[in-house]
Amino acid sequence: MKLKSLAVAAVTGLMFAASSIAAETGPIKIGFMAPYVGVYTKLGTDMDKGFHLYLDEVGYKAAGRQIVVSKEDTEAKPELGPTKARKLIENDNVQIIAGIVHSGVAMSIRDMVNDKKIPLVVTNAGAPEITGAKKSPYIFRVSFANGQQDLAGGWYAYNKLGFKKMIVIAPDYAAGHDKANGFMKYFKEAGGQIVEEIYPPLNTNDFGPYLTKIMDKQKEIDGVWAFFAGSGSIRLITQYDEYGLKASIPLYTIGDTLDDAFLPSMKDSAVGIKNYLHYADTVKSPENEKFVKAYTEKYKEGPGVFSEQGYVGAKAIVAAIEAVKGNVEDKEAFIAALRKVKFAAPRGPFSFDENQNVIENVYIRRVDKGDGKYFNTILDTIPDVDQNWSPAKMKK
């Protein structure tokens, strides 16, 4: 009898040991959430491409373990967030989740990833709360917080570009207001004046009435700050030119409004406009040149800012996996390793701040035309911009 129970115990013990060893050599599963349909499709597919480009570079392996990615289409609909996340976590047993374009989706799964202790690496969603009021030790963001780049961009407008009196125009939703507020903060603190703030509804097609208002006040201002994304940006830039404003009142925008992907649609209307963003495909660094070349070769089109964000997300995850020697099952060690990740990304130096949001360069750019192509030339750099940047943080 005793021998039998001893044997059972031994076998059980061996099985246990075997399964835990197996767990540590089995594949690491990452869930990737992004919109693959709808208005944000390009952002989602670009992020996806960048993410997979990096994993491809390391052969889908880290610390000797294979990496498997399951993707779920969020359609950029917040109400689908919980269902899709649940599928990845409960059904597909992923250990890490990455991606997410839409802030609403990120917010809708915040509690789930926090309670279930699943590390989430956000590669776009910009709501400041994600690494602010609603932050979690398990949530990291490699892209930006809405308003982050604008803090520096606003300071630069007054102190370096000579804008003193501006009108601000952005769509009427959380991101629009957060970015506008970020811009206005140090612009006003430096002495700048905001003559008017205009917030058209998010899907405005026709900027006529707003541009006419701006025309009406042209004698009171020396510039207009604008944020619009996607099709809104195309319409704003072209209509701004059509109404003759481009010639008389300079535009200065956050780079979303002059995204490389849409410059071909804007054509000459975009040329000459200064803007700022944490990335441009013209950044001169070995990492970026390698990235742009590899991306273009693999996908037959150039990378955009969302591609780079996806790429960096994958790179950060792999770096952390290597740091814990593949033991992602030890969640506390894994997130501690993620916090310490630091490397040269295509956009420049990459690291996380104490809220687990990215610290990055902000580039001042200008749209130029050459060889029949449109691109953003980099004019200047403001380094180490984080979510709570202030001019005082600048090293003189």
Partner 1 sequence: MNFWAMQTMNSLSLGILLFLIASGFSLIFGLMRIANLAHGSFYLLGAYVGLAVLNKTESWPLAVLAASVGVPVAGILLQRLFLNRLHNQELPQVLLTFGFMFIFADLALYLWGGTPQTLPKPEMFSSSVRFMGLVFPAYRLFVIGVGLFIAVGLWLFLEKTKVGAMVRAGVDDSEMARAVGINVPLIFTGVFALGVALAALAGVLGGPIIGVFPGLDLEILLLALVVVVIGGIGSIKGAFVGSLLVGILDNFGKALFPEIAFFTIFAPMALVLALRPKGLFGK
Partner 2 sequence: MSTAKKRISMVLGVALLSGALAPFLPNYYAGLLSEVLIFAVFAMSLDLLVGFMGLPSLGHAAYFGMGSYTAGLIALNYTHNIWVCAAAGTLAALVTALLFGLLVLRTGGASFLMITLALSQILWGIAFKWRSFTGGEDGLSGIARTSMGIPWDLTPVHGFLWLAIIFFAVMGALIALYHISPFGLALQGIRESETRMRSLGYNVWLYKYIGHAVAAMVAGVSGVMFLFYNSFVSPNYLSTGFSAKALLMVILGGSGTLLGPVFGSLVIVALENVVSFFTERWMMIIGATYVLVVLFFPKGVLGSLGKLTGRRQG
User: Where on the chain is the footprint of partner 2 (CB under 8 A)?
Assistant: 36-37, 73, 77-79, 81-83, 86-87, 90-91, 103-104, 107-108, 110-111, 127, 134, 172-174, 177, 201-202
Partner in contact with 213, chosen from partner 1, partner 2, none, beta carbon below 5 to 8 Å by kind: partner 1
Contact 202, 169 (CB under 8 A): no
Question: Which residues in 244-283 contact partner 1 (CB under 8 A)?
Answer: 244, 261, 265
Partner in contact with 9, chosen from partner 1, partner 2, none, beta carbon below 5 to 8 Å by kind: none
Number of H helices, E strands in the chain: 13, 15
Query: Measured from the CB atom, is 174 or 333 closer to partner 2?
Result: 174
Contacts of 25 (CB under 8 A, 6+ apart): 64, 65
Query: Which of the stretches 145-153, 238-246, 307-315, 350-358 binds partner 1 when contact is defined by CB under 8 A?
Result: 238-246
* Dist. CA 101–CA 119, nearest whole Å: 17
DSSP output for 50-70: HHHHHHHHTTTEETTEEEEEE
Q: With CB under 8 A, what is the number of residues at the site for partner 1?
A: 34
Contact code string over 189-228 relative to partner 1, x by CB under 8 A: ---------xxxx-x-xx-xxx-xx-xx------------
* Dist. CA 194–CA 213, nearest whole Å: 15
Q: What does R_g of the chain's alpha carbons equal in angstroms?
A: 23
Query: Which of the stretches 10-18, 93-101, 231-239, 313-321 binds partner 1 when contact is defined by CB under 8 A?
Result: 231-239
Which residue of 111, 115, 189, 242 would you call a contact of partner 1, by CB under 8 A?
Answer: 242
* Dist. CA 249–CA 236, nearest whole Å: 14
| Both tokens assigned to 172 | 């009427």
* Dist. CA 336–CA 271, nearest whole Å: 45
Query: Measured from the CB atom, is 48 or 386 closer to partner 1?
Result: 48
Partner in contact with 235, chosen from partner 2, partner 1, none, beta carbon below 5 to 8 Å by kind: partner 1
Query: Measured from the CB atom, is 199 or 375 closer to partner 1?
Result: 199
